[in-house]
Chains A and B, each alone.
Chain A
Amino acid sequence: NAGVTQTPKFQVLKTGQSMTLQCAQDMNHNSMYWYRQDPGMGLRLIYYSASEGTTDKGEVPNGYNVSRLNKREFSLRLESAAPSQTSVYFCASRGARSLGTDTQYFGPGTRLTVL
């Protein structure tokens, strides 16, 4: 199993450009998450999807949109990138507690710089 994969690993954008960060998991997990990590701030939740077909805002959703394409894939879109969105972005997935798989598994991250 590849676990949680993210593409791209690195990206540099200019202010105002748009891009989509891709995330996929092969563990048949219901829940998926997007976080951003900034120095000294820990992980902050941007959006999450408790199950296929549903998405909800997290702590810092402004400037982002998400799509839960199917059970495996959860993408994060920046419509008009701003320098404040320079960060490391992590995708995570989580299974069902009833199945004993309620731990979050994280991808390797996407390092985004907005100039």
Chain B
Amino acid sequence: DTGVSQNPRHKITKRGQNVTFRCDPISEHNRLYWYRQTLGQGPEFLTYFQNEAQLEKSRLLSDRFSAERPKGSFSTLEIQRTEQGDSAMYLCASSPLRAGGYNEQFFGPGTRLTVL
């Protein structure tokens, strides 16, 4: 399977703990994105990378959140000192870098985080 993969698929943690999620994009895709989705809502943009450079961060991404993409391959999203409000589905997507508006984003299966 050459799609976007995410691990773990589910994570249950206690408030105050740190968690880290991993995303492996489609191998030839330059861009990698993180989104967060809460129940009944559409995903909300968090941040994106072009190769290894993090080019944009949403104001939703508080200083407890950090994302990396070393060597422009896989990416990790870490949440420090988790809060119950962090409970959500965290989605990763990747896309090629093409001109003309054809940057179709392909999503992974998501990591569902539950903070108790």
A binds B: no
Instruction: Report which B residues bind A (CB closer than 8 A).
Output: none
Instruction: Report which A residues bind B (CB closer than 8 A).
Output: none
